[in-house]
Amino acid sequence: MLGALEGGPCLLFASGMAAIAAVLETLPVGATVVAPVGAYSGTRRLLSDMSERGRLHYRLVDPTDVDATIASCRGADLLWLESPTNPMLRLADISRLAASAHDLGLTVAADNTFATPLLQRPIDFGVDVVVHSVTKLLAGHSAVVLGAVVTSPDRPDLNAAVADRRVWHGAIPGPFEAFVALLGMRTLAVRLERAQANAGVLAQRLSGHPEVESVIYPGRSDHPDHDLATRQMNGFGSVISFVPAKGAVTADRLCSSVRLCTPGTSLGGVETLIERRARWAGEEAVPPGLVRLSVGIEHVEDLWADLDASLTAAARS
């Protein structure tokens, strides 16, 4: 099912990190990877670990700067994209970057966990391989740990190499986990439609809240990548980031005082999850008070009542 949605053959893995690792392990020793400075922290940590062991080299770039990213691709082997990024929700111009990277002889990979193939199909923009944490939106019920790799139909060599790594490194998923993920994917369209609609409403209301300094959501016209999101995506997703006016202390109080939203570091489930992202090691580039909200499918008025009351209380504590 996922392969049909993304447009290429799909391989399931025991986790999203196993899927990421399998793609990186297809590279020869000494290869160079170009990746976003705001990529998923697990990806950055894996790149750092592989670099420290002499397995590969990596360069971190701002993918919103197309020219600088292309310049960094010279002499590299793999361009890794993530769009939107986590948690700053910045977008990469996938088609431009993929075409330029191919001209320079690079393979192009994209983490499409945030968007899912319903909102964005990277292979259509020239990407060679797509990875997913199926744990998130695809499965949707926070009940399974699973990953996936989808390769372009034009790259059977890459599909075979990734399949070999899955077998040799023991990253094969359990059949029950695959079954649970399939059940979740059958409701992906309706879940995503509701969660995205909720996110749009909450982003608008948060932007007008007196205790909120800024809101980051690609669906807002003031987002720096709004026009690109409109062209490249079929929707703006279900994740919002925002910064309370009084910073990290208020953000922590907010996350501990909500009643309907659940404090947690995952995303993409039917439940709304909230966290102050910079509390994690490796997220020093994220504003200290930034709150990431993975919006679920609850009634939007209930979600707003919880956020509004908790924000007000947290700011006055």
Number of helices and strands (H, E) in the chain?
Answer: 12, 12
Q: Which domains does the chain have, with CATH numbers?
A: 2-185 (3.40.640.10), 188-316 (3.90.1150.10)
Q: Which two tokens stand for residue 48?
A: 């750092």
With bands split at pLDDT 50, 70 and 90, how would you rate the model's confidence at 205?
Answer: very high
d(CA 110, CA 148): 12
Residue-level pLDDT at 280: 86
pLDDT higher than 90, residue 284: no
Biggest alpha carbon distance in the chain? 59
d(CA 257, CA 306): 9
d(CA 56, CA 293): 34
Looking from the CA of 164 toward its CB, the CA atoms found within 13 Å total 10
pLDDT higher than 80, residue 317: no
Taking phi over 0 as left and psi of -120 to 50 as alpha, with beta for the rest, 270 belongs to alpha
Contact present, 254 and 244 (Cβ < 8 Å): yes
Q: What is the mean pLDDT of the chain?
A: 97
Q: Mean pLDDT, to the nearest integer, of 46-58?
A: 98
DSSP 74: T
d(CA 312, CA 241): 18
d(CA 29, CA 12): 25
Contact present, 198 and 192 (Cβ < 8 Å): no
Element (H, E) at 227: helix 226-232
pLDDT higher than 90, residue 60: yes
pLDDT higher than 90, residue 125: yes
End-to-end CA distance of the chain: 49
Residue owning tokens 């980031």: 241
The alpha carbon of residue 302 and the mean position of all alpha carbons in its chain are separated, in whole angstroms, by 26
**pTM of the prediction?**
0.96
Q: Mean pLDDT, to the nearest integer, of 205-220?
A: 97
Beta strand residue intervals within the chain, DSSP E: 10-13, 31-36, 56-61, 78-82, 107-111, 129-133, 147-151, 212-216, 239-244, 262-263, 273-276, 291-294
Q: Residues near 215 by Cβ (< 8 Å), separated by ≥ 6?
A: 203, 206, 207, 240, 241, 242
Residue-level pLDDT at 7: 98
Q: Which two tokens stand for residue 215?
A: 């809101």
With bands split at pLDDT 50, 70 and 90, how would you rate the model's confidence at 285?
Answer: confident
